[in-house]
Amino acid sequence: MPCAAQENCDLSNTSLLGLRLGMLPEQAGSVFGKDLKVKVKKKGQRTFFQNFIKKPAPNSLNGVRAIYLRFFDGRLYQIEIFYENRSDWQTLESFIGDFSAKMNFPVLKIEDGKAKAICGEFSTVADRILNPRIELTNETIRAQVEEIREREEKKN
């Protein structure tokens, strides 16, 4: 989906829960303070995951069911957040409509049960397969990560 056809298609400064793509792990951790300790031990490809299934999310993550933060070379390149179901988010349209309005997201086009927008090297995807979910990604870095994974699989 070309972004040139969309008005206000800029995801470069978008934040989700105060997180921005390109952050260092320490910066991502400081967003949540004591509520969530973001730890990434080594350089390279790292994923931080935390769910709130057995215990409720802290106040800074109110309404969040699970969060994935994916880092490459020490920088955040993908933020994926699963939210609790809410009565006002019963459909994908209501979920993305609310998000687009509150977060100043570009208009997301719905196709095959997912809402998507690609803006330059950034993308956002939303769906309601399990819970309302939104993902913000630096596609240039994701392509690098995929290329590295493919090379590693060929070696094995």
pLDDT for residue 42 is more than 90: no
Alpha carbon distance 84, 118 (integer Å): 25
Q: At 152, phi and psi to the nearest 5? A: -65, -40
Q: What is the pTM of this model?
A: 0.87
Range of the domain at 28: 3-155
Inter-residue contact 147 to 139 (CB < 8 Å)? no
Provide the β-strand partners of residue 16: 19
Domain total of the chain: 1
pLDDT tens-digit map of 109-156:
899 999 998 888 999 999 998 899 999 999 999 999 999 888 888 887
